[in-house]
Structures are given as structure tokens and as C-alpha cells.
Amino acid sequence: MEDKEFSHIDHSGKPKMVDVSGKSVTHRIARAESRVYLPPEVLEKVDNGEIKSPKGAVFQTAVIAGTMAVKKTADLIPFCHPLPVDGCDIQCDVEGEEVKILCEVKTTGRTGVEMEALTGASVAALTIYDMCKALSHRMEIKATRLIMKTGGKSDYNA
């Protein structure tokens, strides 16, 4: 197995931002997923793929919040590079007792957008929790994971 090193730590062990100036500009895509468990008292409010609340349409608001988070990732994660976001698509679908949130982000640049995709999916999940917590605190934000990334030195597919 290849011996890998942490990319955000210099030779003396100090944190650093990765220098991407020597990398090629390529089209990059990343897709991440978050899942939110909905207990019965929340699940029963789902109507035609959406939950309407006094605060607004829950999944539509989660899409907006997730998109805003994608654009602010570099402000939240210390060593993320600010990136131009060429595209962002977030979908919320109820599957059984869970909402599956998929966030796909595209850019053309020297570094990938997996942190943006993970951040978008995570914030969309947090938004669903926030908007539904009056119904139940038994919701559970479950796994958030990278599904795929392309365009860098190595591609990934879960």
C-alpha cells in the first residue's frame, strides 16, 4: 500500500494551505450525500415529496441553504481554496424513513470541489433538522459521505 502523507501539514508539522499553483486547470465534479432520519411525527408531514411548514417549504429551503453553503465553503473550512462554482445541484428525496440529500458541484480549476459538495449536503441536512425540530428532536443526521469526484489526479467512485 502506498505511504500517504497529510497534504495540509508542512515538513515541520505546522498546518498549511496546499499550493495548487502548479496543478493543471481541469473540469472537476464532486457529488456528496447526507441522510436524515425522520421519525413518524415528521414523516407524516411529507406530502407530494415536500414538507410545508410555517417557516416555508422544508426541502426547497434546504436546497437554497445548501447552495449558499457550497459558495461559502472556503469561509468555513480553513484550508479550502475559494473556488468559482460553475454549477451546484441539490436534490432531497424521501426514501423510506430518511431524506437522501445529493449535492453535486462543478468547477473548472486547480483543485477539487469535494469539500463544497460535502458542505452543501451537510448544511441542507442541518436546515431540514432546524425547520422540523418543532415536530421532533428525534431526527438524526446520519452519514455524510463523498459519492464521487472526477477531474483531479485521481477519480473516486463509492
- For the domain that residue 111 is a member of, what is the CATH number? 3.30.70.640
Rounded Cα distance, 29 and 89, in Å: 11
Given strand 140-150, what is the order of strands in its sheet?
87-95, 98-109, 26-37, 140-150, 156-157
Give me 102's grid cell. 445529493
Is 96 inside a domain boundary?
A: yes
| Domain range for 110 | 27-157
Is 140 inside a domain boundary?
A: yes
Mean pLDDT of 52-57: 87
Is 4 inside a domain boundary?
A: no
Is 73 inside a domain boundary?
A: yes
Read off φ and ψ for residue 133, nearest 5 degrees: -65, -20
Whole-number pLDDT of residue 29: 97
Q: Residue 127: is it exposed, middle or buried by C-beta count within 10 angstroms (0-12/13-18/19+)?
A: buried
The C-alpha angle with vertex 140 and arms to 137 and 142, in degrees rounded to 5, equals: 170
Is 57 inside a domain boundary?
A: yes
Number of domains forming the structure of the chain: 1
* pLDDT at position 2 over 70: no
SS3 category, 71: helix
Residue 17's pLDDT band, with cuts at 50, 70 and 90, is confident
Q: Give the active site residue among 3, 86, 130, 155.
A: 130
For residue 69, the number of C-alpha atoms closer than 13 Å in the C-beta half-sphere is 25
Is 150 inside a domain boundary?
A: yes
For residue 121, the surrounding DSSP H or E stretch is: helix 114-132
Whole-number pLDDT of residue 132: 96
Is 148 inside a domain boundary?
A: yes
Mean pLDDT of 87-95: 98
Higher pLDDT, 21 or 69: 69
* pLDDT at position 130 over 90: yes
Contact partners, residue 43, CB within 8 Å, separation at least 6: 94, 97
Whole-number pLDDT of residue 3: 66
Evaluate the CA torsion angle 76, 124, 70, 110 in order and state its sign.
positive
Does the pTM of the predicted model rise above 0.85?
yes
Is 102 inside a domain boundary?
A: yes
Catalytic annotation present for 130: yes
